[in-house]
Amino acid sequence: MEIDNFDILMKHMDFIDVNDRYIVHVMRRPKDCKALANQLGASEAQRLIRTYYIDNLDYMKAKIPAIKELCKSCNARAYLIAAPKDNFDCLMNLGQKILETIRNKNYSVKPEHLLRQAYCENHKSRKKQWIIDLDNDEMHGWTKDEVIALIKTIIHEDCKHGEEEAEKICNEIYEVPTRNGFHIITPPFNLQKAQHRCPLMFEGTKRGLPAEMLDEVNDKFIFINCKDYFKSMLHYNPFEAAKTTWINEVLTIPEDKMSDAEHEIAEMIEAGYKDITGWLHKDGMTLMYYTDSK
């Protein structure tokens, strides 16, 4: 299997200013070297092999063969940070990090770590680009086209400069194939509206609703890490005592004060919770090249 997104991504790499830089990481991930994970160890199984700082399309095109060969030889993947960086801002950021490191007498830090931090921090992007990570087995009733339509609808609703400008923003949205689905690359949009209409529009991992409720609630609206929402859905829950029996961060009854029935209900709720990973990555990386031919 080979995924080659160089052409797709280069169409959207806009070098507006002489200081513009795009960052390409060649990374090895544990999921791609499971057979050697124990032999390599955690630090080698998850390793940044090389970083390229791309300042023009000709340089990007010239590096494609080397990037592909590096991915094949190291069993790695190439990722692009979709948002362009301002080289001046990043160099200023690097200078601040160097001075801060000296001031804190942290002399053991590796120079390449400071360089990578200076160029990869989210707030140093010239143009914000969000990534919606859609894996085929984590769609929860949605389709890729529905997600794109939702984002475009919100952009049109919120644009203050007319339909033409809204359509111009929407035209910046594009999709990138990944190993397990798609990345949707999009300008920022009203996240509060998006979360209201699609609760999977969040970063990180949250806990969902108990398993006994999953079949009763519309798939598109079940994943909310919010006890108030849980309470509003209690008519789906056959265990009334669960109103005051919460696991982990919302558990209100001390364990030594629980009745046997409350213990049983608590254990059932704990076992039924499902961790849900949000789709959103602000200023994240998207897949540029992958192969499992080795």
The SS3 call for residue 189 is coil
Say whether pLDDT at 115 is over 50: yes
> Two tokens at 121?
């921090």
Q: Which two tokens stand for residue 282?
A: 């602000």
- CA dihedral (53, 55, 56, 62) in degrees, to 10, reads -30
pLDDT digits (tens, 9 = 90+) for 45-74: 577 899 999 999 999 999 999 999 999 998
The model carries a pTM of: 0.74
Q: Which residues of 144-176 are buried (b: 16+ CB within 10 A; e: fewer)?
A: eeebbebbbbbbeeebeeeeeebeebbeebbbb
Cα–Cα dist 256/45, whole Å: 44
- The band of 137, judged by pLDDT with boundaries at 50, 70 and 90, is confident
Tell me if residue 27 falls in helix, strand or coil: strand
Give the 3-state secondary structure of residue 76.
coil
Please state, in angstroms and as integers, the Cα–Cα distance from residue 264 to each residue in 257, 259, 268, following that order: 13, 9, 6
Half-sphere exposure of residue 160: CA atoms within 13 angstroms, side-chain side: 1
| Residue pair 235/249 in contact by the 8 Å Cβ criterion | no
- Residues 270-292 have a mean pLDDT of 81
pLDDT band at 277 (very low <50, low <70, confident <90, very high): confident
Tokens representing residue 140 in the block: 């929860």
Q: What is the model's pLDDT at position 258?
A: 56
Return d(Cα 116, Cα 118) in angstroms, integer.
Answer: 5
More confident residue, 63 or 213: 63
Q: From the centroid of its chain, how far is CA 40?
A: 26
Please report which confidence band the pLDDT of residue 196 belongs to, taking 50, 70 and 90 as the band edges. Answer: confident
* Distance from C-alpha of 89 to C-alpha of 269, rounded to nearest angstrom: 49
The two tokens of residue 178 are: 């990944």
Tell me which amino acid residue 201 is: M
As a whole number, the mean pLDDT across the chain is 78
Q: What is the pLDDT of residue 65?
A: 97
pLDDT band at 156 (very low <50, low <70, confident <90, very high): very high
Question: What's at 139, amino acid-wise?
Answer: M
| Helical segments of the chain, H only | 6-10, 37-40, 42-45, 57-74, 87-103, 111-120, 144-158, 162-170, 191-197, 211-214, 227-232, 260-272
